[in-house]
C-alpha cells in the first residue's frame, strides 16, 4: 500500500513510540535500579539515573546470591532454568512432531480416540491439573529433579496441533514420490518432513523456550531443594523476604540477567526463522 | 524392462464407489500404452494401482511375470512422474535425482555417474545445484522425468505429466517423451485426458469410460473404427458428427439423403450415423452422399475452416478448405466408406 498522508504518518509514529516507551520504560527502570546501592530505595522514590554499583550488584548475585532468601547463586538458578526450558522445548517438539506424524500419516485403531484425547488436553493447562500432576510426580519420586521440573510440562497438545496443521498442507504426492523412491515411513519423516518443518520447529522452539523459562507456579511447587530453584521463582523468593526490606538493587540485577537468555534465543532464532520463511516463500 | 499384465483389476473405494470395474490389459515389454478418458473415469486410480500407491480390491497386477499386488512401490521397480512433479522442495535437483538411488544403497560414485548421465540426456546439467523453486515449469518437468529415468526402472508410469505446461511447451515435451521412451525402450503407461496427446504418444491406446475399457487399439485403428459412440465422440478434434437416421430397407434416411446400409446389421428403426468433419468434403464422387448444410456460424482455424450448421434440424460440423465459398448453405459430400453406423441403444458399432 502506497500512501502519502503526513498526518497519518506522524500519528502512527507517535502511537508506536508510546507503545515502545510503555514496554521499555519498566525495563529501563529495572536496569537503573540494578545499578544503585541497597539504601537508595528507602525514600520510596525510584531513581531514574544510573548509580555507581552496577558491577558490585551483578557480581554479588552471580557469585553468592542472596543468602537471606535461601537462594543459591544466580548462575545456579540460571542453569536450572536453562535446563528446564531446553528440556521442555526440545521434549515438546520431539513428542509433538512424532505424534502429529502418526496422526496424519498412519491409519491405526483408535486413531480418532487418540486425536480427541490430545485435543481435550488442549483445554487443560498445567494450572488446572496441577494437583493430580503433583501427586503423580511425587509418587514417582521426581520432586526436586530436572525430570520433575520438565516432564509434566512437556505433555500438551498445542505443538502437536501446529505440526498436524502443517503436515496436512504437505502435498500427498511428496509422500507418494518418496514411497516410489523407496523411502520407508521413518525415512520419509527424516529426509522430507523434518527439513520441510524447519521453520515451524524454529518458531515453536522460540515460543516453547520462553514458555519453559517463564514457568513459575510449577517449579515453586515441586522444588524444596535450593539446588533446583529456577531463576523466575528465585526472584519471587528474593523479593518476598519476611521481615526485612527487599534488596531491590540485586533483585533487579537478577531480573535483568533472567531476561537475557530468552532475548538471546529470540534474536538468534529469528534469523533462522526469517531465513526459512523467505526461502520457502519464493 | 518388463511386461505388465492386468487381469480383472477392480477398485472399490471405501464408501462403496467402484472406480475401476474389472480391467484386463496385457502390456508388452517396451510398449507405450496411453490410458485416455474423461475426468473421473478412473485413469489415475488404475495407474496408481499399478504403481502400488492404491490398494487393489480384486484382480491381479503382474510386472515382469511377478504378482505385485502386495508389494511396495519400490519393490515393484517402477518409476512415476506426477502431474505436479512432486519434487522435494528442500533438495537440490541433484539430490532429487539421487534420493531414490541413495535409498537403494548405491555407492556415491555410481550415483554421480548416473545422475550426470541423465542430466546430460535431459539437458538439465546447469540446474543440478538449484532447488526446484528456482526452475521454470518446463525445467521442473524435466527434473521429474530425470528422477524417473535415473532409477532405470522396469516401467515408467506417467499421470498427466504435461498438464501444467503451456500449450507450446506441452507439444515440445510430448515429442521429447516419445523419443526418450523409444530410445530407452522402457515399458510405459501414460495417463491423459487430452486425446491429441494420447493419439500422438501411444503405441496402443486404451479408452476408458466410467471405470471400464471402451476400446483398445492403435491410435489409427481407434480413429478409423471407433467401437462405440463414446469413443467416436471422444477421439478426434473436432469431434465426430453423430446424427440420428431412420431405417428404410437397404438404407438409412437422414434429411433428404439416403445412406446405403445393409439390412442385416441392425434391427431397430433408428440408427446413429457418424461422420468426421474432415470427411464432409466440398467435392465428392458420384457415389457420395450429398447433404445441404444450413450454415449457423463459421470458425476459422487458419489452415481449414469449421462450418457449423444443421441438416434436418441436427447439428453438423464440416471441416473445409478456407478457399471454399460460403453462402447461406453449403453442399457437402460424404463417401459411403467414411460413414460409421452405431446402435442408438447400446452405442456399439454396427458396420
Ligand atoms: N479416495 C477416494 N475415495 C473415493 N472415491 C475416490 C477416491 N479417489 C478417487 N475417487 C473417485 O474415483 C473416480 C476415479 O478417480 P480418478 O482419480 O481415477 O479419475 P481420473 O480418471 O484420473 O480423472 P482426472 O482426469 O480428473 O484426473 C472418481 O469418480 C473419483 O471421484
Ligand atoms: Mg487423474
Contacts of B86 in chain A (CB under 8 A): 171, 173-174, 176-177
Q: What is the DSSP string of B106-168?
A: --HHHHHHHHHHHHHHHT-GGGTTS-GGGS-HHHHHHHHHHHHHTT--SEEEEESTTTTS-HH
Q: What is the pTM of this model?
A: 0.83
Ligand nearest to the CA of B11: 1
The answer to whether A281 faces chain B, any CB pair under 8 Å, is no
Q: pLDDT digits over B45-67, tens only?
A: 999 999 999 999 999 999 999 99
Q: What angle do CA B200, B203, B204 make, to 5 degrees?
A: 105
pLDDT at B266: 64
Ligand 2 center from residue B94 Cα (angstroms): 28
- For the record, the C-alpha cell of A137 comes out as 510426580
Alpha helices in B150-304 (DSSP H): 167-184, 195-201, 219-224, 229-234
Cβ pair A182:B51 closer than 8 A: no
Query: B32 with B203: CB under 8 angstroms?
Result: yes
Structurally, chain A folds into a number of domains equal to 1
With a pLDDT cut of 70, the percent of chain B lying above it is: 98
pLDDT at A40: 73
> d(Cα B293, Cα B280) in Å, to the nearest integer?
10
B284 or B157, greater pLDDT: B157
Residue A6 lies in a domain: no
Mean pLDDT of B114-129: 94
A10 three-state secondary structure: helix
Contacts of A180 in chain B (CB under 8 A): 51, 53, 73-74, 78-80, 100
With a pLDDT cut of 90, the percent of chain B lying above it is: 74
Measured from the Cβ of residue A120, the count of other Cβ atoms closer than 10 Å reads 10
| The pLDDT of residue B106 is above 90 | yes
Mean pLDDT of A148-156: 84
Mean pLDDT of A128-144: 89
The β-bridge relationship of strands B187-192 and B329-334 is unpaired
Confidence grade of residue A282 (pLDDT, cut at 50, 70, 90): very low
Residue A126 lies in a domain: yes
ipTM summary value: 0.85
Q: Does B151 contact ligand 1 (Cβ within 6 A)?
A: no
Q: What is the largest CA-CA distance in chain A?
A: 76
Residue A183 lies in a domain: yes
Q: Among B43, B46, B197, B209, which is best to mutate for testing ligand 1, by the most ligand atoms less than 8 A from CB?
A: B43
Q: Among B9, B14, B41, B214, which is best to mutate for testing ligand 1, by the most ligand atoms less than 8 A from CB?
A: B41
Ligand 2 center from residue B61 Cα (angstroms): 19
pLDDT at A281: 39
The β-bridge relationship of strands B4-12 and B66-67 is unpaired
User: Rg for chain B (alpha carbons), in Å?
Assistant: 24
Mean pLDDT of B114-126: 93
Q: pLDDT digits over A198-230, tens only?
A: 888 988 888 899 999 998 888 988 888 888 888
Confidence grade of residue A75 (pLDDT, cut at 50, 70, 90): confident
Confidence grade of residue A278 (pLDDT, cut at 50, 70, 90): low
With a pLDDT cut of 90, the percent of chain A lying above it is: 31
pLDDT at A199: 84
pLDDT at A64: 72
Residue A164 lies in a domain: yes
B174 three-state secondary structure: helix
- For the record, the C-alpha cell of B62 comes out as 503382474
Q: pLDDT digits over A27-62, tens only?
A: 888 888 888 887 777 677 777 788 788 888 888 877
Residue A177 lies in a domain: yes
- For the record, the C-alpha cell of A248 comes out as 531491590
Cβ pair A180:B133 closer than 8 A: no
Ligand nearest to the CA of B54: 1
pLDDT at A277: 57
pLDDT at B278: 92
Which range (A67-76, A110-119, A149-158, B246-255) has the least confidence?
A67-76
- For the record, the C-alpha cell of B176 comes out as 521429447
Residue A11 lies in a domain: no
Contacts of A176 in chain B (CB under 8 A): 51, 53, 73, 80, 82, 86
- Closest chain A residue by Cα to residue B98: A181
- For the record, the C-alpha cell of A138 comes out as 511425587
Q: Does B19 contact ligand 1 (Cβ within 6 A)?
A: yes
Q: pLDDT digits over B158-182, tens only?
A: 999 999 889 898 999 999 999 999 9
Instruction: Indicate the burial class of A254 (C-beta count within 10 angstroms; 0-12, 13-18, 19 or more).
Output: buried
Provide the residue range defining the domain that includes A92.
Answer: 34-278
Please enumerate in sequence order all residues whose Cβ is within 8 A of that of A244, keeping only pairs 6 or more positions apart, or say none: A68
Q: What angle do CA A53, A56, A61 make, to 5 degrees?
A: 125
B283 or B235, greater pLDDT: B235
Residue of A105, A173, A180, A275 to mutate, interface with B, max B Cβ within 10 Å: A180
Residue of B96, B100, B130 to mutate, interface with A, max A Cβ within 10 Å: B100
List beta partners, residue B299: B306
Q: pLDDT digits over B195-214, tens only?
A: 999 999 999 999 999 999 99
- CA B104, distance to chain mean position in Å, is 33
| The pLDDT of residue A276 is above 60 | no
Mean pLDDT of B310-325: 89
Give which of B3, B160, B152, B149 is closest to B68, Cα–Cα.
B3
> Mean pLDDT score of chain A, rounded to an integer?
85
Q: What is the CATH number of the domain that holds A108?
A: 1.10.3720.10
Amino acid at each position: 500500500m502506497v500512501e502519502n498522508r503526513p498526518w497519518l504518518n506522524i500519528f502512527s509514529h507517535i502511537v508506536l513510540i508510546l507503545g515502545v516507551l510503555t514496554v521499555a520504560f519498566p525495563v529501563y527502570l529495572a536496569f537503573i535500579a540494578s545499578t544503585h546501592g541497597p539504601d537508595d530505595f528507602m525514600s520510596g522514590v525510584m531513581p531514574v539515573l544510573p548509580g555507581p554499583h552496577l558491577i558490585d550488584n551483578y557480581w554479588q548475585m552471580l557469585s553468592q546470591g542472596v543468602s537471606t532468601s535461601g537462594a543459591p547463586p544466580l548462575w545456579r538458578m540460571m542453569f536450572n532454568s536453562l535446563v528446564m526450558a531446553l528440556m521442555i522445548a526440545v521434549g515438546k517438539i520431539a513428542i509433538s512432531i512424532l505424534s502429529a506424524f502418526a496422526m496424519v500419516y498412519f491409519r491405526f485403531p483408535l486413531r480418532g480416540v487418540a486425536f480427541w484425547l490430545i485435543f481435550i488436553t488442549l483445554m487443560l493447562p498445567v494450572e488446572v491439573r496441577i494437583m493430580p500432576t503433583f501427586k503423580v510426580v511425587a509418587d514417582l519420586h521426581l520432586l526436586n529433579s530436572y525430570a520433575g521440573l520438565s516432564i509434566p510440562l512437556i505433555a500438551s497438545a498445542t505443538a502437536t496441533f501446529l505440526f498436524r496443521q502443517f503436515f496436512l498442507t504437505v502435498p500427498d504426492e511428496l509422500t507418494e514420490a518418496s514411497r516410489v523412491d523407496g523411502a520407508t515411513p521413518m525415512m520419509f519423516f527424516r529426509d522430507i518432513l523434518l527439513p520441510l518443518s524447519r521453520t515451524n520447529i524454529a518458531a515453536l522452539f522460540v515460543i516453547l523456550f520462553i514458555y519453559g523459562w517463564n514457568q513459575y507456579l510449577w517449579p515453586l511447587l515441586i522444588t524444596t531443594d535450593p539446588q533446583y530453584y529456577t531463576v523466575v521463582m528465585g526472584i519471587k523468593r528474593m523479593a518476598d523476604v519476611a521481615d526485612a526490606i527487599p534488596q531491590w538493587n540485586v533483585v533487579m540485577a537478577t531480573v535483568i540477567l533472567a531476561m537475557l537468555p530468552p532475548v538471546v534465543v529470540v534474536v538468534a532464532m529469528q534469523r533462522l526463522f526469517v531465513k526459512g520463511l523467505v526461502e520457502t516463500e519464493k | 524392462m518388463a511386461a505388465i499384465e492386468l487381469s480383472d483389476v477392480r477398485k472399490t473405494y471405501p464408501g462403496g464407489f467402484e472406480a475401476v470395474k474389472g480391467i484386463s490389459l496385457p502390456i508388452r515389454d517396451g510398449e507405450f500404452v496411453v490410458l485416455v478418458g474423461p475426468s473421473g473415469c478412473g485413469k489415475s486410480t488404475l495407474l496408481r494401482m499399478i504403481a502400488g500407491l492404491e490398494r487393489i480390491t480384486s484382480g491381479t497386477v503382474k510386472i515382469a511375470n511377478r504378482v505385485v499386488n502386495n508389494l511396495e512401490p519400490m519393490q515393484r521397480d517402477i518409476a512415476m512422474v506426477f502431474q505436479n512433479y512432486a519434487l522435494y522442495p528442500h533438495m537440490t535437483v541433484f539430490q532429487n535425482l539421487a534420493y531414490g538411488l541413495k535409498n537403494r544403497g548405491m555407492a556415491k560414485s555410481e550415483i554421480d555417474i548416473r545422475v550426470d548421465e541423465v542430466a546430460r540426456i535431459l539437458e538439465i546439467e546447469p540446474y543440478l545445484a538449484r532447488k526446484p523453486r528456482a526452475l521454470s515449469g518446463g525445467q521442473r518437468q524435466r527434473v521429474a522425468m530425470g528422477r524417473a529415468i535415473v532409477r532405470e526402472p522396469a516401467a515408467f508410469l506417467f499421470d498427466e505429466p504435461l498438464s501444467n505446461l503451456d500449450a507450446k511447451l506441452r507439444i515440445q515435451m510430448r515429442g521429447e517423451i516419445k523419443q526418450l521412451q523409444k530410445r530407452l525402450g522402457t515399458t510405459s503407461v501414460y495417463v491423459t485426458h487430452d486425446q491429441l496427446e494420447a493419439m500422438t504418444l501411444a503405441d496402443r491406446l486404451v479408452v476408458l469410460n466410467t471405470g471400464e475399457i471402451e476400446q483398445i487399439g492403435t491410435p489409427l485403428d481407434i480413429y478409423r473404427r471407433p467401437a462405440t459412440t463414446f469413443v467416436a465422440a471422444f477421439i478426434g478434434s473436432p469431434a465426430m458428427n453423430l446424427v440420428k437416421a431412420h431405417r428404410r430397407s437397404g438404407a438409412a434416411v437422414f434429411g433428404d439423403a439416403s445412406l446405403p446400409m445393409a439390412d442385416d446389421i441392425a434391427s431397430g428403426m433408428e440408427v446413429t450415423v457418424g461422420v468426421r468433419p474432415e470427411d464432409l468434403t466440398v467435392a465428392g464422387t458420384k457415389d457420395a452422399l450429398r447433404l445441404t448444410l444450413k450454415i449457423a456460424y463459421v470458425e476459422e482455424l487458419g489452415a481449414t475452416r469449421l462450418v457449423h450448421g444443421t441438416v434436418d434440424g441436427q447439428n453438423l460440423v464440416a471441416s473445409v478448405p478456407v478457399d471454399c465459398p460460403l453462402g447461406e448453405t453449403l453442399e457437402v459430400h460424404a463417401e459411403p466408406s467414411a460413414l460409421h453406423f452405431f446402435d442408438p441403444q447400446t452405442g456399439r458399432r454396427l458396420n
